[in-house]
Amino acid sequence: MGISSRFAQEHHPVQESTLSDLSRTDLQSILRYMLLTRGLEERLETLFKQGQIVGGLYRSLGQEGTAVASAWALGDGDWLAPSIRDMGALFVRGLDVRDMLRQYTARGTSLCVGKDSTTHFTVPELGLLGPISPLGTQLCVLNGVALAFKQRSQPNVCMTYQGEGASRTGASHEGFSLAAALDLPIVVWLEHNRWSFGTQSHKESAVADWLDTARMYGVPAESVDGNDVLAVYSASRTAVDRARRGDGMTILVAETYRMLGHAQHDAQKNAPPVELEEWRTRDPIARCEAELRDLGTTDEGLETIRDEVSLELTEAVDDVLSEPPPEGEDALTRVYDASELDPSVPWTRGPVSGYGDRTTHVVVVS
Amino acid sequence: MGISSRFAQEHHPVQESTLSDLSRTDLQSILRYMLLTRGLEERLETLFKQGQIVGGLYRSLGQEGTAVASAWALGDGDWLAPSIRDMGALFVRGLDVRDMLRQYTARGTSLCVGKDSTTHFTVPELGLLGPISPLGTQLCVLNGVALAFKQRSQPNVCMTYQGEGASRTGASHEGFSLAAALDLPIVVWLEHNRWSFGTQSHKESAVADWLDTARMYGVPAESVDGNDVLAVYSASRTAVDRARRGDGMTILVAETYRMLGHAQHDAQKNAPPVELEEWRTRDPIARCEAELRDLGTTDEGLETIRDEVSLELTEAVDDVLSEPPPEGEDALTRVYDASELDPSVPWTRGPVSGYGDRTTHVVVVS
Amino acid sequence: MSELRETTYLEAIRDAMAEEMRRDDRVFMLGEDIGVYGGAFKITEGFLDEFGPDRIIDTPISEAAIVGAAIGAAHMGLRPIAEMQFIDFIAPAFDMIVNFAAKSRYRTGIGAGIVIRGPCGGGSRSGPFHSQNVESYFANVAGLKMVAPATARDAKGLLTAAIRDPDPVLFFEHKFLYRRVKEMLPVGEEIVVPLGVARTHREGSDLTIVTYGGMLYKSAEAAEKIADEDGATVEVIDLRTIRPLDTDAIVASVKKTGRLLIVHEAARFGGFAGEITAQVCEQAFEWLDAPVRRVTALDTPVPYAPELEDYYLPQVDDITAAARWLLAY
Amino acid sequence: MSELRETTYLEAIRDAMAEEMRRDDRVFMLGEDIGVYGGAFKITEGFLDEFGPDRIIDTPISEAAIVGAAIGAAHMGLRPIAEMQFIDFIAPAFDMIVNFAAKSRYRTGIGAGIVIRGPCGGGSRSGPFHSQNVESYFANVAGLKMVAPATARDAKGLLTAAIRDPDPVLFFEHKFLYRRVKEMLPVGEEIVVPLGVARTHREGSDLTIVTYGGMLYKSAEAAEKIADEDGATVEVIDLRTIRPLDTDAIVASVKKTGRLLIVHEAARFGGFAGEITAQVCEQAFEWLDAPVRRVTALDTPVPYAPELEDYYLPQVDDITAAARWLLAY
Ligand SMILES: Cc1ncc(C[n+]2csc(CCOP(=O)(O)OP(=O)(O)O)c2C)c(N)n1
Ligand SMILES: Cc1ncc(C[n+]2csc(CCOP(=O)(O)OP(=O)(O)O)c2C)c(N)n1
Ligand SMILES: [Mg+2]
Ligand SMILES: [Mg+2]
């Protein structure tokens, strides 16, 4: 409730560019969101080293372009379902960086009120469906959102992201297969970042061309340079328009690279230096800046963007660190929905009286 | 135990034809096994109408050729994992028709001692791995058999069958994906028989060419006329040899048709008459007989085969119907393996004494 | 006051869904062979014609995807009913139910008001994979509700309540009762039976039998037998909802009778009788005049042959014997 | 008589597997990131080098396929160890475990002697999907065994026994204990602790606490506290194996003390305490001087924030309070 009202004000609709190529202002915003993502992750890393982060921290260094430029192709009322590595897409859709900080620092003010972390939140007001840890499941659930669009003949689309590792799960296959069978308005980014946790993906699969894994479902599929925001945007744009027209799902394979370990605890020491070197030269931010220079944006102009982002982040970190953690008893709330409960139903009364210790709760409603 | 010793005598190794085309004797045997399959299923249908069958009965009318001719390509020590519709393959591998009769009539003498039905048995002596009802799971388990071959560098291969419906399950995808990743010696027949229970498969999936679903795993795949035993055999042969050479999995798509309902209770009334008509002209048995006539087999020759098969079936049915059902208490046996149990471990003593009723069993071992 | 019609347990389930879909266009169904074919048990016969392919959705064989799509649709305010062709096939959707559906509201504040329903239970010679009772797999999962109706009225009323419930409900239909259990019900009239409230099926003062689903009838038969032959009265409580549990009803009855027998069709070890026993010990220990007993199936899978399945399943004689043992204690 | 070395719970698990793989070439492992990477918790560090890629198999992310391959290999006489990166991810393999592995021997006579192991439990601020205790999901499944060691010696001895066991064993390693629990163990010496036998961790005569896994230490601490402050002696029984259950040990202790407190980390409703309570009621009712009580986590998912998780988890004070309530009863 509190959440939704907050977003009521904050949510700034993303303008829909009608042409499949981007204006310079579009591109500047895309750069801004990429910088915001990388900058935030760097702050989070510092906080992690200071012991201010609860649990794991997952970076998207080198992949910011796929998340940001793809989300840019969505319009009002569309839904987006990020993996834990697609933070950038969330900001494009109107999420406040504070909300990611609150998640990672387990604040009571976080979207999950401290009950879950990373991008594991669902915010209908912003059209965001979070993942759960078990991989492959999120696509299956997003199918239901797309199904609702279809049933209401509402011209909206869904976009989601999935790693090549996750694509080996049964849930992923069932999700793709059902989306294709029901012709759902969904765009799926298969993020081929060469890694799955601590293992290089080619060591865990016989797939030669990841595009084949997309083709099998009988829907349009395309392979894209995931570190080129222009390519990512236009592929997304085409797929989104196709879905919006009612022509169903598209699968896009992002060729990219996970430049850091799976999480902070993983030094990625098995990464071939040459590979890292090669991909460092394809950094999406550097390439986007080059594009903008070609379009006439000055170094001062780029400086300004960097400074604004940095300022925004400093303020956000200060704000969030001063926010309170949750109260222990809040662990008991919202297991079930209390609003529609009939008080004459015994169990809704909650804690069993008797022993007076908190372990005798039978069922708890909010 | 009893089972294995029985097979010790009965198991007649399948001769390996070295050429990828079949001799006339081979083809006559293949015809014989197809007739045996169809004949047995007809007897079972009669028994079903007489109320002698326990549970459901699943026929393979029109698909006998795929099962029989594919199994013909296997050699000694190879393993085969049938679906409930691949009975024919089991006979090729040395199973007695009585064993199928015992299963369907729930005899105590059945391979599952009355605890399960259809082809749900596993017989290491014959290299047979049965399915369980939850679809897609069997391939995952067969992978382990192939893994054992690989670890022991034993030049054997596995063959299994899966319906297009089953191929939509998560388990199926995980099974294919792992088999390909580990380069396992497996041949999988994707039986595209146009139906999945009561629904035409094209109504439940967007797959245009089922070969695409095979291609995605990065292994060789081929589409085959499932009602042409020569085509089925030679495709199987090539795939089996490839696997035996150590070159991994092959996926073969059998284009065929389920000529009857899912089970006895399903009249398949939604089947388009034209479709049925068209496929009736492609009956694998009729086509195999034609082949044999071309090869010089006389009508008398074919008659003899039919008569032998019919005699064998009559005897088998008489034998099995005179066999006893299981004893109720046998429901308690072989939940755990007793042979390696330490009698000093309390729970191995079985029933809890006290109330003296049979519901107080805690854990039961054989 | 609408006319009464003899309604089977199966028809009651069909009516609940059809009537609720007519009342509320947010309600829709998805599952395997529910459309063109009309469902493995013909429960959705005619639904495709009446409600159309957008609300009666034939899916691929993919239980995880079916449940997943239901969750997402519920997030959007729809009220999906996901059919498992047999409840045994809920197993491939286990992760989706336990980790996504059950924890959604707790983690994100957004609920997953879905119904997952399907035929459970033994007695129809269907073997290990078409006869299971799966409630114990989910009994420890906070966020879920579980319902197991025994009568036609309850089947209709509980399913209607389940469809309207804002949280995920697993609805277990005992297939042995589908066509065997009948009741006169008002045609087309809304019946709502609240979740979490048990029903006293038969009053008694000497012993309490707590049961649910398919075992209600064998329990009642045993109670009848004891009334006739022993002159003792047995109170039979039909839980109807397994989670949340109507502990108050159980405790009240035990405080009256002092003796408790729990009967369920699922296997014994780790079965749901344990939770009931624990709660009764916590809340009515001083009132117990005898040990809490349970009559259940054996600790084995469900065997296929009639001789084996009959031995495996709890029978009236088992219930009667345990009840007499308790009465004599 | 080999030298003793301080061995952590984690090292004990590593040693059990390494030593058994050296002894028996039928033993091998498969799982995600166990090879090149050495495992999410570095348990299999160095295994790939010593045992090679045929016995230390990195798989795709596919728990059902991992368990399936283990079953098939077991059918062939091998002794597979399947690692779940976190035990929470056993959920996608639920169908494979419950329907294929558990029922295989019963249906076909061919067993599935596999070990499925992985880190369970809370306390490490890992949120709802990396902290679960999953024993209750499987408690009602005949054909399975479940083990939850609390000490380094038991971790090594029970895992060795599990690997040699001819039936499927789920082996739950409490990740909070991995590096916190240490013990002096003989280097390279075989330790076998039979499945199904509980261990009396601490003798006492006034109250019995039955527990397992991560809760052993909090229970022992509470017992200590009560001995010091109340002068009462509490017997602490570490089940070690959850299924099959060593009922004899529990019953013997309860007959001695007359009071039973069950402590587990999993949520309360439908948790394993129910089965223990039911069996004690059946076999030691007359010896009970007080209600059987349980201290468990709350009936919610496992929350992520430290403040919430600490409130969610059973704490020493909860155990002490419940124990005192029982002693005063
Ligand atoms: C079902 C399941 N098994 C295992 C894990 C543990 N796990 C978390 S992330 C990960 C690797 C994911 O790789 P990929 O899908 O390629 O995404 P990336 O990390 O490369 O973005 C694994 C194995 C999980 N989350 N879910
Ligand atoms: C996981 C699972 N869900 C549902 C079923 C019920 N079911 C049994 S057979 C079948 C159709 C199978 O179709 P297909 O795989 O094409 O095999 P076919 O019957 O055509 O040979 C279904 C849905 C099942 N056995 N397993
Ligand atoms: Mg990846
Ligand atoms: Mg088919």
Residue C309 pLDDT grade (very low, low, confident, very high; cuts 50, 70, 90): very high
Instruction: Enumerate neighbours of C (3 or more CB pairs within 8 A).
Output: A, B, D
The DSSP code sequence of D183-205 is EEEETT------TT--EEEE--S
pLDDT band at C1 (very low <50, low <70, confident <90, very high): low
Q: Which of B133, B359, B361 has its CB closest to that of C129?
A: B133
* Other Cβ atoms within 10 Å of B185 Cβ, number: 29
CA-CA distance, B34 to B46, in Å (whole number)?
18
- Per-residue pLDDT band for B345 (boundaries 50, 70, 90) equals low
pLDDT of residue A206: 85
Please check the confidence at residue D16 and state whether its pLDDT lies above 90: yes
Q: Sort out which chain A residues have CB atoms less than 8 A from B136's CB and list them.
A: 170
Using CB atoms, list chains with 3+ pairs below 8 Å to chain A.
B, C, D
Residue A213: list chain B partners with CB under 8 A. 216
Question: Which candidate from C102, C128, C281 shows the least CB-CB separation from D291?
Answer: C281
At residue A343, the pLDDT reads 55
Closest listed residue to residue C246, CA positions, set C192, C194, C197 = C197
How confident is residue A208, by pLDDT bands cut at 50, 70 and 90? Answer: confident
pLDDT, tens digit (0-9, with 9 covering 90-100), for D18-55: 999 999 999 999 999 999 999 999 999 999 999 999 99
C259/C289 Cα distance (integer angstroms): 6
Q: Which long-range contacts (CB under 8 A, 24 or more apart) does B207-212 make?
A: B207/A180, B207/A216, B207/A217, B207/A218, B207/B164, B208/A218, B210/B164, B210/B167, B210/B253, B211/B253, B212/A215, B212/A216, B212/A218
Mutate to test the pocket of ligand 2, among B86, B120, B135, B195 (most ligand atoms within 8 A of CB): B135
Q: B347 vs D71: CB contact, 8 Å cut-off? A: no
Give the model confidence (pLDDT) of C137-174 as tens digits.
999 999 999 999 999 999 999 999 999 999 999 999 99
Touching check for A140 and chain B: CB below 8 Å? Answer: no
List CB contacts of B178: < 8 A, sequence separation 6 or more. Answer: B140, B143, B184, D59, D60, D62, D65, D66, D69
- Cα–Cα distance, A366 to C253 (Å, whole number): 29
Q: B140 vs D96: CB contact, 8 Å cut-off?
A: yes
Ligand 1 close to Cβ of residue A301 (< 6 A): no
What subunits touch chain D, counting only 3 or more CB pairs under 8 A?
A: A, B, C
Q: How far is A42 from chain B (nearest CA, A)?
A: 36
Spatial distance between the Cα atoms of B267 and B270, rounded to a whole number of angstroms: 8
Beta pairing partners, C263 = C211, C295
Substitution target in D67, D140, D259 with the highest count of C β-carbons within 10 Å is: D140
> Among the residues of chain D, which ranges form H helices?
9-23, 47-51, 63-75, 94-95, 102-108, 135-138, 152-164, 215-230, 247-257, 273-284, 306-312, 316-328
Using alpha carbons, list the distances in angstroms from residue C63 to A186, B92, B220: 20, 34, 29
The three-state secondary structure class of A124 is helix
For D150-179, give the secondary structure using H, E and C. CCHHHHHHHHHHHHHCCCCEEEEEECCCCC
What separation in Å is there between the alpha carbon of D261 and the centre of ligand 1? Answer: 39
- The pLDDT value recorded for residue C256 is 98
Residue A55 per-residue DSSP state:
S
| The C293-297 sheet, strands edge to edge | C199-202, C234-238, C207-211, C260-267, C293-297
- pLDDT tens-place string over residues B265-297: 898 999 999 999 999 999 999 999 999 999 999
pLDDT higher than threshold 50 for residue A303? yes
Q: Output the DSSP codes for D264-285.
A: EEEESTT-THHHHHHHHHHHHG
pLDDT value, residue A283: 98
Q: How far is the CA of A192 from the centre of ligand 3 (A)?
A: 6
How does residue A347 score in pLDDT terms, banded at 50, 70 and 90?
low
Asked whether residue B110 carries a pLDDT value surpassing 50, the answer given is yes
At A332 the pLDDT is 86
Give the chain D residue nearest A54 (alpha carbons): D125
State pLDDT tens for residues B49-67.
999 999 999 999 999 999 9
Question: Which residue, by CA, sits nearest to atom 2 of ligand 2?
Answer: B134
Neighbour count for residue D64 (Cβ, 10 Å): 31
Peptide bond into A220 cis (omega under 30): no
Residues linked to residue C237 through DSSP beta bridges, in sequence order: C200, C210
Please write the tens of the pLDDT for every residue from A219-265: 999 999 999 999 999 999 999 999 999 999 999 999 999 999 999 98
Q: State the average pLDDT for chain A.
A: 89
pLDDT value for C261: 97
**Token pair recorded at residue D88:** 């929470």
Enter the tokens of residue C153.
């009225």
Determine the distance separating the centroid of ligand 1 and the alpha carbon of A122, expressed in angstroms. Answer: 20
d(CA B295, CA C188): 68
What per-residue confidence (pLDDT) applies to B19? 41
Q: What is the pLDDT of residue B342?
A: 56
Mean pLDDT computed over every residue of chain B = 89
- For residue B6, pLDDT over 70 is answered with no
Closest ligand to Cα B83: 2
Q: Give the torsion sign (CA, A346, A349, A352, A354).
A: negative
Q: Does A350 have pLDDT greater than 70?
A: no
Q: Which amino acid is at D50?
A: E
Q: Which runs of consecutive H residues, i.e. helices, occur in B50-200?
A: 64-71, 87-92, 97-104, 137-151, 170-181
- Identify the pLDDT of residue D1: 62
Sort out which chain A residues have CB atoms less than 8 A from C285's CB and list them.
none
Radius of gyration (C-alpha) of chain D in whole angstroms: 20
pLDDT at B15 over 80: no
Torsions phi, psi for D248 (to 5 deg): -55, -45
Residue D113: its chain B contacts at CB < 8 A? 337
Residue A112 CB neighbour total at 10 angstroms: 27
In our burial notation (b when 16+ CB lie closer than 10 A, e otherwise), range C134-159 reads: bbbbbbbbbbbbbbbbbbbbbbbbbb
Record: contact C140-D271, CB cut-off 8 A? yes
Tokens of A151: 């049933």
Are C66 and C94 a contacting pair, CB within 8 Å?
Answer: no
CA distance C196 to C239: 8
Report how far residue A179's alpha carbon sits from residue C30's, in angstroms, rounded to the nearest whole number. 13
Q: How far apart are CA C213 and CA C198, in angstroms?
A: 12
Q: What is the dihedral of CA A147, B175, D64, D23, to 10 degrees?
A: -170
Work out the number of other CB atoms within 10 angstroms of the CB of residue D306.
17
The two structure tokens encoding residue A79: 């839904």
Spatial separation of the C-alpha atoms in residues D271 and D268, rounded to whole Å: 5
Chain C residue with the nearest C-alpha to that of D244: C269
- Residue B356 has what pLDDT? 37
CA C304 to ligand 4 centroid distance, Å: 25
Rounded Cα distance between C47 and D53, Å, is: 54
With 60 as the cut, is the pLDDT of residue D142 above it?
yes
Percent of chain D scoring above 70 in pLDDT: 100
Chain mean pLDDT for chain D: 97
pLDDT band at B337 (very low <50, low <70, confident <90, very high): confident
**Which among B93, B99, B270 has a CA at the least distance from the CA of B199?**
B270
* pTM of the model as a whole: 0.96
Contact B132 C129 (CB under 8 A): yes
Report pLDDT digits (tens) over D242-293. Answer: 999 999 999 999 999 999 999 999 999 999 999 999 999 999 999 999 999 9
Is pLDDT at B354 greater than 80 in this prediction?
no
Ligand nearest to the CA of A172: 1
Percentage of chain C with pLDDT > 90?
98
User: Is the confidence at residue A8, as pLDDT, over 50?
Assistant: no
Ligand 2 binding pocket (C-beta < 6 A) is: B 83, 85, 133-135, 163-166, 169, 191, 193, 195-197, 258, 262; C 32, 61, 63, 85, 89, 92
Mean of per-residue pLDDT scores for chain C: 97
What confidence tens digit (pLDDT) does each residue in C243-298 have? 999 999 999 999 999 999 999 999 999 999 999 999 999 999 999 999 999 999 98
Upper half-sphere CA count for residue C188 (Cβ side, 13 Å):
5
Contact D148, D187 (CB under 8 A): no
Is the pLDDT at A159 greater than 90, yes or no?
yes
Q: Which atom of ligand 2 is nearest to the CA of B196?
A: 13
Nearest CA distance, A216 vs chain B (angstrom): 5
Residue D270 · residue C272 · CB < 8 Å: yes
The shortest C-alpha distance from C193 to chain B (Å) reads 33
Q: Does the active-site annotation cover D130?
A: yes
> Residues C184-206: what's their mean pLDDT?
96
pLDDT tops 90 at residue D328: yes
- For a mutational test of ligand 1's pocket, the pick from D37, D85, D86, i.e. the residue with the most ligand atoms closer than 8 A to its C-beta, is D85
